[in-house]
Amino acid sequence: MIRSSVFKDESTLFPEYVPPLLPHREKQLEHLMRIYRPLFSDKLVSVNSALVGQAGLGKTATSKLFGQKIEEMARQSGSKIIFEYMYCSTVRTLPAVLRQIIMKNWKKVPVMGITGNELIIELNDRLRRENTRLIIALDDAKLLGGEAIHGLIRSAEYFGYGNALVSTLIISRPEDWVAHLYPHLIEDVHSVIEFLRYTEQELQEILAYRASLSFYEGVLSRENCNMVAKIASETGNARHGIEILRHAGYLAEKSEDKKITPEMIRIAKNEVYPETSPEILRGLHRHELIAALSTATALKYEVAVPIHKAYEQYRIVCEEYQTSPRSTRNFRNYIRVLADIGLFNAVVKNLKRGRRTVITLTDIPASILEERARKLLEQGGKDNYD
């Protein structure tokens, strides 16, 4: 085994790693333990909750740490609870989710070629025979759809009151929760736990803790760790900061001093946000690029902006670049293109006075998108983009 001179334990910076502590997510974890406490009672009830927040705010890590803790608590109390985390981007249908769970826990059970309802019955039969409770965590649950999850939860009614053996933990981004899940699950979910953006100070503490697990002492100074927190605070996304630490660590390994420098952090930042690379943005027309720039500018200090506010900023940027603004209809088309390539989320909300499109950023800092869009606009002339 080749020993690293920088990384004490590189694996602690990988997305799959679940640390023993989650700074600033203790309340959410405690709330989860309290919500699912009824699973330890004699009466068999189904508990269903949702973790809602943007990417990189600790939803997945909190759910997995909760799963470890509740399984351990069950062992200590003489109960049996199985926690299964399912990432719906790779398992895109409810039957596929159930099939994987059954095959993992009861390998000899034939599950191919049977329907979703038959899978639910088979799963409940197995759980009943073994006096076991099951919690299914559905990450990125939008891909299964609210109706399918509703059907899973309500299947408990088929087995009769007091015989529910399957509980759910739904993990979703706010826009997906509102548009795709909440309308179907309003009566099923007992509690919605919100994950707010991390502050810069919170990110400083989170990244310092993760760095203490991953790097040898002296590799990352407090000042440079705070620099990473400053960058990540643009989205409040801890995952971005952790990724920057990992990439900066690789650069430090190649250096003579074996220490992370500010320049390494800047280079790592660009590696972490490839979605906004010039190669992708260069394919946009001029007004699409201006729309990206103006919307990013509008979102620098806001979590979300209505499309009419983004359009107002678009008109200002057009004036700055001496370009005649296009119509609101054209601007909506530009936003649709930008959403299709993953720069923004555009969600239509139903309000008392009608419908309104609200724009949010995905995983990309507004300042980085603004910076790269400006650079392309300044490098290329009007003919390059119109």
What is the residue extent of each domain of the chain? 26-194, 198-272, 278-385
Q: Which residue has the higher pLDDT, 281 or 146?
A: 146
- Answer for the pair 35, 191: CB distance below 8 angstroms, yes or no: yes
**Angle formed at CA 57 by CA 13 and CA 228, multiple of 5 degrees:** 55
* pLDDT > 60? residue 277: no
Burial class of residue 11, CB neighbours in 10 A (0-12, 13-18, 19+) = exposed
Other CB atoms within a 10 A radius of the CB of residue 118 amount to 13
Provide the CATH topology of domain 26-194: Rossmann fold (3.40.50)
* Model pLDDT for residues 184-214, shown as the tens digit of each residue: 999 899 899 999 999 999 999 999 999 999 9
Whether 295 and 338 have beta carbons less than 8 Å apart is answered as yes
Cα gap 156→137, rounded to integer Å? 17
* Residues pairing with 84 in the sheet: 136
Lowest-confidence region among 41-45, 143-147, 151-155, 245-249 = 41-45
Type of residue numbered 182 = Y
What rounded mean pLDDT belongs to the chain? 88
In the chain, the percentage of residues whose pLDDT exceeds 70 is 92
* 3-class SS of residue 342: coil
State mean pLDDT over 224-230.
94
Q: Within a 13 Å sphere around the CA of 127, how many CA atoms are in the beta-carbon half?
A: 26
The set of residues, in sequence order, having a beta carbon less than 8 Å from that of 75 and lying 6+ positions away, is none
Query: What token pair was written down for 133?
Result: 């409770």
Q: Are 298 and 309 a contacting pair, CB within 8 Å?
A: yes
Q: What pTM value is reported for the model?
A: 0.75
For the domain made up of 198-272, give the CATH fold.
Helicase, Ruva Protein; domain 3 (1.10.8)
Contacts 24+ apart (CB under 8 A), 93-97: 93/144, 93/148, 94/144, 94/148, 94/149, 94/151, 94/152, 95/119, 97/136, 97/138, 97/144
User: What is the identity of the amino acid at 289?
Assistant: L
- The C-alpha atoms of residue 200 and residue 232 are separated, in whole angstroms, by 8
Q: Say what the pLDDT of residue 381 is.
A: 44
pLDDT given for residue 362 in this prediction: 62
Q: What is the pLDDT of residue 274?
A: 58
User: Of the candidates 42, 18, 10, 1, which has an alpha carbon nearest to the alpha carbon of residue 252?
Assistant: 10
Q: Does domain 278-385 have CATH number 1.10.10.10?
A: yes
Query: Considering Cα of 231, then 232, then 233, then 234, what sign does the dihedral take?
Result: positive
Q: What average pLDDT score do residues 351-377 get?
A: 79
**CB 272, CB 244: distance < 8 Å:** yes
Least confident segment among 134-138, 245-249, 297-301: 297-301
Nearest to 271 by CA among 294, 302, 245: 245
The answer on pLDDT for 382 being more than 50 is no
Distance CA 354, CA 352 (A): 6
Rounded CA-CA distance 332/343 in Å is 14
Q: What is the rounded CA–CA span in Å between residue 349 and residue 327?
A: 22
**Side-chain half-sphere exposure of 210, counting CA atoms within 13 A:** 31
- Name every residue whose Cβ is closer than 8 Å to that of residue 64 and which is 6 or more positions away in sequence: 18, 85, 137
Strand ranges (DSSP E) for the chain?
48-52, 81-87, 133-139, 166-172, 191-194, 304-306, 344-351, 354-361
SS3 22: coil
pLDDT at 271 (0 to 100): 80
- A 10 A CB-CB count for 374 gives 17
pLDDT of the residue at 385:
43
pLDDT band at 337 (very low <50, low <70, confident <90, very high): confident
Which position has the higher pLDDT, 372 or 69? 69
For residue 91, give every residue at least 6 positions away whose Cβ sits within 8 Å of its Cβ, in sequence order, or none: 97, 100
